[in-house]
Amino acid sequence: MGRARVGVYVDSMNIVRNGGYGMRYEVLRRYAARNGEEVVRLNAYVALDVERAGSDPNYDATLNFISTLRDLGFKVIEKPIRWFKDESGRAYGKANADMEMALDIISQSDRLDIIYLLTGDGDFCNVVTMVQNKGCRVEAVAFCNVSAQLRREVDLFVSGFLIPGLLPTQAPLAGTPKWGEVGSRVRGVCTKYIADKSYGFLRFMHSLGKLWITDTRMDDSPYTSVFFLEKDLPAGVYPDHLPSRDHIFEFTLMEGEKGFVATDITLVYQYHS
């Protein structure tokens, strides 16, 4: 049996607006091929202000971003920004590539086995169902404001906050230990909480691999468990709500007597059903 064929479709505008500014596309590509899959399609849908691109030198960052995507092998679909005025006369721009992205996914799905959908937009639920019915597996990766229906519709939803290196951790400094090393900042979820003893365990992804092996005791699991004390939980997080896959925590890894211990825990984001 040959390698699974993969297509990656990134709604860059949705990702940037919803917590994914600074997402590393090279990490995304490695993530999509983490188990030896063949990446066949890499599509990124990007908003482009045509007028500024031709006249404003400060627009170079956007043009460089597009060039970088192409260097990484992405086909960039540029969606021109259309400008409108509100009732007070203020100009605002809109660019929506949903239709183009949906049509590409549907038309190209016949030659794919796995589709990675980078968006939190619930309008894609019908597209997901359609290509699943054609035999494709659909996995979604997104950050904030992800449609609860989309999370339920896909075969697997993975918060982009949890993928090692996909989005920089808070205040990265030169010389900071790499993700997963003692002293590094990582992000994870609470998978176990013992209320009568006031402690629990967080789980973070230490490497890209077989995400379905969630038992951290298994050698080929890409996850690691980290001990934490209730007193170290950030303000506003109540033990009654734990364990939870909806709370995304960022924390520093310290070494304890029996393994990793989480310190300086912060709440990055909370998903809602």
Instruction: Please give the average per-residue pLDDT across 222-250, as a whole number.
Output: 96
Instruction: Please give the average per-residue pLDDT across 262-269, as a whole number.
Output: 97
pLDDT in tens, 79-115: 876 655 666 666 545 557 889 999 999 999 999 999 9
Determine the residue type at 257: E
pLDDT value for 273: 79
Cβ–Cβ under 8 Å, residues 143 and 120:
yes
Averaged pLDDT score across all residues of the chain? 91
Beta-ladder partners of 252: 185, 263
Output 24 or 64, whichever has higher pLDDT.
Answer: 24
pLDDT value for 36: 94
pLDDT value for 92: 47
What is the pTM for the complete model shown? 0.90
DSSP 122-180: GGGHHHHHHHHHTT-EEEEEE-SS--HHHHHHSSEEEEGGGSTTTSPPSS--TTPPPTT
pLDDT value for 192: 97
Instruction: Please give the average per-residue pLDDT across 5-27, as a whole number.
Output: 96
What Cα–Cα distance (Å) separates residue 38 from each residue in 107, 114, 158, 203, 220?
19, 10, 20, 29, 21
Q: Look up residue 119 and give its DSSP letter.
A: -
Cβ–Cβ under 8 Å, residues 146 and 245:
no
Residue 15: band (very low, low, confident or very high) from pLDDT cuts 50, 70, 90: very high
Cβ within 8 Å of residue 128, ≥6 positions away: 117, 138, 140, 150, 153, 154
pLDDT value for 169: 84
Residue 7: band (very low, low, confident or very high) from pLDDT cuts 50, 70, 90: very high
pLDDT value for 151: 97
pLDDT in tens, 144-181: 999 999 999 999 999 999 999 999 886 556 677 999 99
Instruction: Please give the average per-residue pLDDT across 110-133, as a whole number.
Output: 97
pLDDT value for 49: 72
Q: Look up residue 98 and give its DSSP letter.
A: H
What whole-number percentage of the chain has pLDDT above 70?
89
DSSP 228-253: EEGGGSPTT--GGG-SEEEEEEEEEE
Quote the radius of gyration of the chain (alpha carbons, Å): 20
Beta strands in 171-222 (DSSP E): 185-194, 199-205
Cβ within 8 Å of residue 176, ≥6 positions away: 183, 184, 185
pLDDT in tens, 177-221: 999 999 999 999 999 999 999 999 999 999 999 999 999 999 999
pLDDT value for 243: 97
DSSP 26-76: HHHHHHHTTTS-EEEEEEEEEEE-HHHHHH-GGGHHHHHHHHHHHHTTPEE
- Give 266: exposed, middle or buried? Use CB within 10 Å, 0-12, 13-18, 19+: middle
Instruction: Please give the average per-residue pLDDT across 10-34, as a whole number.
Output: 96
pLDDT value for 172: 54
pLDDT value for 171: 55
